[in-house]
Amino acid sequence: MVGALAAGVPLFGPGIEAAELTALFPLLTFIIIVFFGSYLPLKGAIPGIAATGGALLVSLWGVADIATGAGPRHETLLTFVEGVAGEGVTLTFGILIDPLAILMLTIVSLISFLVHIFSLGYMNDEGEIDLPRYYAGLSLFTFSMMAFVFSDNLLMSFVFFELVGLCSFILIGFWFREAGPPSAAKKAFLVTRFGDYFFLIGVVAVLGTFGTAQFAGSESFVTIATEALETGATEGMTTFLGFGEQAWITVIGLLVLGGVLGKSAQFPFHTWLPDAMEGPTPVSALIHAATMVAAGVYLVARMYGFYVLSPTALSIIALVGGFTAFFAATMALVKQELKQVLAYSTISQYGYMMLALGGGGYVAAVFHLTTHAIFKALLFLGAGSVIIAMHHKENMWEMGGLRSEMRVTYLTFLAGSLALAGIFPFAGFWSKDEVLYETLVHGLGGSPVLLVAYTFGALAVVLTGFYTFRMVFLTFHGEPRSELAEDPEPVRWNVKFPLAVLGVLSVVAGFLNMGVLKDIIGEENLFLHEFLDGVTMDADLDAAGLSAHHYAEVLESNFAAGYEVAGLSPLGPGALATVLAVVPVIGAWYLFRGPDVDPVMTKLGGLRTLLMNNYYQDEYQVWLATGVTLPIAKVANKFDQGIIDGLVDGTGGVSLFAGERFRRIQSGVVTNYAALLTLGFLLLVLIFALVGGWI
């Protein structure tokens, strides 16, 4: 195997040829569990583990294939709606496997596999009921997410984008007998649906404008749009409402962005994610940290060739991303529940990915997506382990001193935290640094708005280090602050194994792309960059318009975003980022280390109240729903009942009155209505006959 890798021969090729199995395995599992789940041993966990394990093998095989020369693969799997020839678009489902897709498939299947195993400990061992519904939800989610990842067109992306939203709804609301989870599930679906509303307009607009929603190839909407701007050949493109080509591309880009902001929990659509923590913790790890929330960012990366055409859209993405990274991090500072800190941290980290995409750092964004999936899944699973130990108590002030009783959890959680805080040489350091570096060099190259976004991102680094280690110290260090923390419940192998795997990865994943050292180790040793650039492939990924290199080229073209790169060694910004990350960690250690911890954050006073209440963002959105929309609905209802229906009854009153009299004469039994009816009917026929000149 190693020999084949070295020789550059595709191992088998079929790895990517069979990539749809990554979705079909979980789909099959879903169907099995829906119908037979309650009869299965472990209530459906076994088929789930088998399916995701199988998907992981296929994905890894695909990675090996692409690393040794095969790919890309792009074909239509089935025709959804056949358009009439020449008019009306044809809607299809297809598969597009390129380095980006296969990487994402690997991430999803890996995390899903580990989460299934973890669930044995978190759900089965804890004696939860209704487990078939849980495992069915996980399988349906994995299926939808996989299909979303390998979608070859925007409509198909939308289809599965919505389906992962459904799975999120089902799984957040898993404990439906309580009041909180169903409400959180509703909010999650509704807020993301609001974003998806814009996304769907975007999909429809793409189909209307280009007649195709394909991502890749010479017939794709991305290529048509690029050519329209580059050569002025606008035959393939119909703009609407009098917009010019570039402006219309911006409009479409921003519409699709609505769905992205909703799903990836970016400001102002971030409010659903903290509530989503009502769901079981493995679900939070899989869906609300590593994969589904990544769907938005992935979508922008998937159609990055389109976004680089619009400087406006990119600037907005960068600003929203940078701001969200900072804004969410401030709220994480004061949270008292373990999962809440992680939730705001997740929002913040996705902000970094958006910042990278807006800042022209395609590889940086994908890199951070990868490392974040690993270390955030790890942190959530670690939190899950702590929650098992604490008998489902989540408040960190009731914890403390857990490190001595929970070695594996502590060490892996620490590795994840170091990665999150961006401490050298853990995974998050490399990727976050690259995000900031890319934004900085493009900003210095003549895009001042990126510098604003960069500043937000850099400030967020400080906050991240602080809240992360506040969490670590409060949970694991010092003395136990409750009886539960003194005697935590032990966890089994099924919890420790996923933690160990992810813990190791959190340490080493950063070596994929050591961008800070690129001047020292050479660009060819930035493995992820080379992989995403299609260097390992025999086919030309540029031709399909999917390579990192191609994106950078368009990004710097004057007809497109027109970014320029300032010459700046990555070492300086890297050193700065390290300082920014290390100082707050030390600060957190100073404040939260001892056996008796002061709740120092209360000294923030009114600011703390504001942060605890999330800047009253939730109140404002609830007000939009119940303070604006609902009253309008009530007024509409009053108007409808009183005025419209009143008029009908008023005019109808005459006939009703006639009916009364008729009934009085005829003693009002049902048969008389029949007589009335028949009479009326005959009358109509008579009119008919008269008009027809029959009589």
Shortest spacing between CB 635 and other proteins, in angstroms: 8
Question: Applying CB under 8 A, does 177 fall inside the site for other proteins?
Answer: yes
Q: In this structure, are residues 574 and 514 in contact, taking their beta carbons and an 8 Å threshold? A: no
- Binding segment toward other proteins, per CB under 8 A, in 45-53, 457-465, 467-475, 649-657: 649-657
For 583-598, the DSSP string reads HHHHHHHHHH-SSS--
Q: In this structure, are residues 431 and 375 in contact, taking their beta carbons and an 8 Å threshold? A: no
Shortest spacing between CB 100 and other proteins, in angstroms: 23
Question: Applying CB under 8 A, does 100 fall inside the site for other proteins?
Answer: no
Shortest spacing between CB 350 and other proteins, in angstroms: 23
Would you call the peptide bond into 182 cis, given omega within 30 degrees of 0 as the criterion? Answer: no
Q: Which of 391, 629, 657, 679 binds other proteins (CB under 8 A)?
A: 629
Question: Applying CB under 8 A, does 640 fall inside the site for other proteins?
Answer: yes
**Residue from 298, 354, 307 nearest 148 by CA:** 298
Question: Applying CB under 8 A, does 236 fall inside the site for other proteins?
Answer: no
**Residue from 137, 193, 115 nearest 373 by CA:** 115
598-627 footprint of other proteins as x/- string (CB under 8 A): ---------------------------x--
Tokens of 648: 């009908």
Q: Give the number of other CB atoms < 10 A from CB of residue 550.
A: 22
Q: Which of 1, 2, 6, 84 binds other proteins (CB under 8 A)?
A: 84
8-state DSSP, 641: I
Question: How many Å apart are CA 359 and CA 361, to the nearest integer?
Answer: 6
> Measured from the CB atom, is 6 or 670 closer to other proteins?
670
Question: Applying CB under 8 A, does 38 fall inside the site for other proteins?
Answer: no
Please state the three-class secondary structure of 411-432 as a single string: HHHHHHHHHHHCCCCCHHHHHH
Question: Applying CB under 8 A, does 650 fall inside the site for other proteins?
Answer: no
Q: How far is CA 34 from CA 49, 135, 629, in A?
A: 16, 9, 37
Q: Which stretch of DSSP H or E encloses residue 23? A: helix 21-36
Question: Applying CB under 8 A, does 183 fall inside the site for other proteins?
Answer: yes
Shortest spacing between CB 155 and other proteins, in angstroms: 8
Q: Which of 25, 135, 158, 466 binds other proteins (CB under 8 A)?
A: 158
Q: Which of residues 113-142 bind other proteins (CB under 8 A)?
A: none
Amino acid at 443: G
> Measured from the CB atom, is 18 or 166 closer to other proteins?
166
Question: How many Å apart are CA 225 and CA 235, to the nearest integer?
Answer: 10
- Binding segment toward other proteins, per CB under 8 A, in 50-58, 245-253, 375-383, 460-468: 245-253
Tokens of 44: 């459906």
Question: Applying CB under 8 A, does 636 fall inside the site for other proteins?
Answer: yes
> Measured from the CB atom, is 234 or 455 closer to other proteins?
234
Beta-strand (E) ranges in 31-125?
73-81, 91-97
> Measured from the CB atom, is 181 or 573 closer to other proteins?
181
Question: DSSP 3-state assignment of 327?
Answer: helix
Question: How many Å apart are CA 407 and CA 357, to the nearest integer?
Answer: 38
Question: How many Å apart are CA 373 and CA 505, to the nearest integer?
Answer: 11
Shortest spacing between CB 76 and other proteins, in angstroms: 14
Q: In this structure, are residues 15 and 58 in contact, taking their beta carbons and an 8 Å threshold? A: yes
Place of tokens 């939860």: 128
Shortest spacing between CB 130 and other proteins, in angstroms: 8
Question: Applying CB under 8 A, does 247 fall inside the site for other proteins?
Answer: yes
Question: Applying CB under 8 A, does 675 fall inside the site for other proteins?
Answer: no
> Measured from the CB atom, is 41 or 692 closer to other proteins?
692
User: Dihedral, CA atoms, 569, 467, 182, 172, nearest 10 degrees?
Assistant: 50
> Measured from the CB atom, is 204 or 543 closer to other proteins?
204
Question: Applying CB under 8 A, does 484 fall inside the site for other proteins?
Answer: no
Please tell me the count of residues contacting other proteins according to CB under 8 A: 78
Question: How many Å apart are CA 98 and CA 85, to the nearest integer?
Answer: 30
Q: Which of residues 249-288 bind other proteins (CB under 8 A)?
A: 250-251
- Binding segment toward other proteins, per CB under 8 A, in 315-323, 554-562, 574-582, 636-644: 636-644
Q: Which of 5, 35, 179, 575 binds other proteins (CB under 8 A)?
A: 179
> Measured from the CB atom, is 233 or 684 closer to other proteins?
684
**Residue from 96, 173, 169 nearest 130 by CA:** 173
Q: Which of 35, 176, 590, 620 binds other proteins (CB under 8 A)?
A: 176
Q: Which of residues 655-674 bind other proteins (CB under 8 A)?
A: 655-656, 659, 670, 673-674
> Measured from the CB atom, is 10 or 259 closer to other proteins?
259
Question: How many Å apart are CA 330 and CA 332, to the nearest integer?
Answer: 5
Question: How many Å apart are CA 209 and CA 190, to the nearest integer?
Answer: 28
- Binding segment toward other proteins, per CB under 8 A, in 18-26, 193-201, 497-505, 603-611: 193-201
Q: Which of 233, 633, 669, 679 binds other proteins (CB under 8 A)?
A: 633
Question: DSSP 3-state assignment of 96?
Answer: strand
